Structure 1
Amino acid sequence: MALVAALILAIATGDSDDAGSADAPPTTSAPEPSAGIAAPSDDETTDIDLVGRQVTVVTSAGGTPREQTGEPGAFPVGQEMVGPPDGLELQRVSSGTTVMVSRSDGPTGVDDGVMTGYARSPGGAALLTANYMGFGMELGGVYADFIGHFMPTMAGEDPEFLEEIRARGDSVDGRALVAAQGYSAPRWFKFGQCDENFCTVEAALPSVYEAVGEINSPDPNVGIHDHPVIRVSMKWVADQWEIVSGRNMTPLTEIDGSWSRWM
């Protein structure tokens, strides 16, 4: 998550100087809000993130699943875009980072503090990708538990890695990276090979420019108009998606028509 961290750091360290003449972000239209999102419970509130999206602020560290009232979406036949699941909702968890839940493609439950039950669907795979990115900005116990659950092979091969993650979280008192709560959820998704047994998802964040405007970037290789992208591949094993690889890609300066905007 080093690339994401660098862009988020720009929010905290940038000033008002111009940062270049890159093209403005694309003006693709957002989908209509999904129906059926319940009002927050008594211990939940609502907020707006830095790019204007509604966020439900929950008290849990690992997110709060919602009642499933819709059906999971179908797998793409070819390379067509996949739209957002029903009842898509952003949740800001107690660390300050943002995750995604839905009312059709999961998650459906919690196991030892980890949201589980992501649907065997492209939407379920995308939600898992988004939350892999989101919890990665916390780098603490919740992320370690998430990795242990959805990347069990890697966790078993390198248990010290999970302990290092927990130690990093302890050092910052379980808080997310600087300003991660501002806009840490993806806005666009793209699917590679994606069927009931294997799925590759690319997720792109809003740019720093969309969130806070013109500032100086602390990384000369990452512009404020660039969109951080992560690619995650997963396979269906034992009734859940298991992540087999997750990596940052070269940041995109433009989101073209091959991407589906979810929110």
Structure 2
Amino acid sequence: MNTSHGRIVRSKTVVITLAALALTTALIAALIYKHAASRDISADPPQSVIPSPDVPVGDGFGTPVTDVYGRRVDIPAAAAGRPLPQTASPVSELDPLWLSAPPLGTTGRGGWQRVYGVSVPFSTSDGPTHISNGMAAGFAHTPRGAALAAVYISHQLGARPADPAVVARVNYSPEDLNRYHERVAAGRLPMRQPEQITRWITAPDAYQIVSWSPDLCVLMIATRAKTGTPTQIQTWTAARYAAVWTGRDWNLLPGTEIGGTREITSILGWTPW
């Protein structure tokens, strides 16, 4: 990598990291820094497009692309994403897999969609069911619904940190909201992050429910940090999040990366997306 380019990339990501930390998106900022600091983003090849000769016409999606790891991401016609038909029933609370069953539909067409430049999940079992005020809504009142909402909201917070529609889905205190408005007024938070940043906010590989109650779900989310090679073990960055039930939907709790992030070398026993 060109040394001067590397310095530019590192300086840029440090600035973005500070901005993201101001809105409690430490995990996203850490992942951006981890990847971008070691690579010259400007030299990366363009993301590839997946040929889809048999794609249904008029289903609300364009030609799919791949993320930086080569995984499929669908492009919705609607800016905030396209909810999928809820064709599968959520797992019952009496089911032994209540806390560990994955949401259905996330591995198929439209399961991961690019919304404002970042990858966000949509399921056919646990929502979201509709778009409200520019954000996905109608996540099921289940552990899987909470996990889906936590990823969608946190990724959108990383993509459009000054967007009031996103901030409305984070349970900030009045003091935090005042600080947020001050940062927006001072021009310290962008309405949209550039593609050089959003491209690194990708689908996590797995999650794990730490604790569950009807009004609060605490979970760990594991996002790929290093791709395994013959000489390097694969690792993930794990962070703790919390989602709170508002009576109608899940919102994100701010500052819920409890204990910060940590690097792990296995996601065995975690719930895959």
Alignment of 1:3-152 (within 5 A): 3-14=27-38, 41=59, 44-75=62-93, 82-88=100-106, 89-93=111-115, 95-142=116-163, 144-151=164-171
Any conservation in 2 of the 1:226–1:251 contact (CA below 8 Å)? no
Change beyond 3 A, Cα 1:47–1:39:
farther
Cα deviations across residues 6-33 of structure 1 (Å, max 9, x unaligned)? 43234444259xxxxxxxxxxxxxxxxx
Gaps of 5+ in 2: 1-24, 41-54
User: Which one has more relative contact order, counting CA pairs under 8 Å at least 6 apart?
Assistant: 1
Q: SS of the counterpart of 1:126? A: helix
CA distance in 2, matches of 1:38, 1:122: 32
Cα deviations across residues 4-63 of structure 1 (Å, max 9, x unaligned)? 3243234444259xxxxxxxxxxxxxxxxxxxx977736522012222321102244432
Match of 2:223, as an amino acid?
L
Q: Does 1:237 align with 2:255?
A: no
Q: Say what the alpha-carbon RMSD is for the aligned residues.
A: 3.4
CA distance in 2, matches of 1:195, 1:3: 24
Query: Alpha-carbon deviation of 1:139?
Result: 3.9
TM-score, normalization: structure 1?
0.71
Q: Does 1:190 align with 2:208?
A: yes
Q: SS of the counterpart of 2:236? A: coil
Q: Indicate the percent of aligned positions where both proteins have the same amino acid.
A: 24
Give the match for residue 265 of structure 2.
254
CA distance in 2, matches of 1:43, 1:155: 37
Match of 2:257, as an amino acid?
R
- Paired residues in the alignment total 226
Query: Alpha-carbon deviation of 1:247?
Result: 1.4
Any conservation in 2 of the 1:76–1:194 contact (CA below 8 Å)? no
Give the match for residue 159 of structure 1.
177
Change beyond 3 A, Cα 1:197–1:155:
closer
Query: Alpha-carbon deviation of 1:155?
Result: 5.2
CA distance in 2, matches of 1:7, 1:259: 20
Gaps of 5+ in 1: 17-36, 215-222
Q: SS of the counterpart of 2:154? A: helix
Query: Alpha-carbon deviation of 1:108?
Result: 0.9
Any conservation in 2 of the 1:81–1:260 contact (CA below 8 Å)? no
Give the match for residue 22 of structure 1.
none
Change beyond 3 A, Cα 1:9–1:77:
same
Q: SS of the counterpart of 1:247? A: coil
Change beyond 3 A, Cα 1:225–1:43:
closer
Cα deviations across residues 188-234 of structure 1 (Å, max 9, x unaligned)? 11001113332111111011435xx79xxxxxxxx995422232223
